Structure 1
């Protein structure tokens, strides 16, 4: 039976690969964005957030940028979209409505599901890089 299957497979012809009719698309670079980009103030006097890069896909938009929190008033944020965040500098205390609470530091990665209500605070400052499933500026 094994030789029968190998003969049957070898007699099947693979379709020729399709040639792309789309024009090449260039990537975008944001030089030194982690240190040079200054996100705008979004809440209180210590919470800053700004989109650096956004997709052009209208059906499944993606936005990426930086969130910075300085010592002071905690930020409570309810996510209306899915987001991933990596802590790139400083530290945060991050908690949610389930009672989960962590001390987040450089290198930690988080997933905040749509509908989660997250509280961010810090004793110094924290900087996170995020990627969210949302349109530009919809945070």
Structure 2
């Protein structure tokens, strides 16, 4: 399982790649759009940004997976948005958009999970590594 240090290093490298390439490299990974998700810290109240991919995009809704590489614990960003669903999202280095995050219902997950694994089979491998069900989070623009 990836350590906190490794996850932070990957996020830092991703942001650096985007900056150095002026957004030409790093806006997509394995056909999935990359996005920067900013949550509010559940303990600190401060903004926290993380780079993620969206294996499923349905109109203006982006689906992200709280996988943490198959770790047995949820990623911090998931715990933050679970406590405060008001988030900010920048897709493919685009403008920052206020959005609402919500965990997919069981029925939604049953429909979305095959699409997630089809887009990026490694998510299926992550699910096999852990006993927790990997949450799917739907990000939708605020009206």
Task: With the length of structure 2 as denominator, give the TM-score of the two structures.
Answer: 0.25
Structure 1 or 2: more helix by fraction:
2
Structure 1 or 2: more strand by fraction:
1
Task: With the length of structure 1 as denominator, give the TM-score of the two structures.
Answer: 0.26
Structure 1 or 2, whichever has the larger Rg, is 1
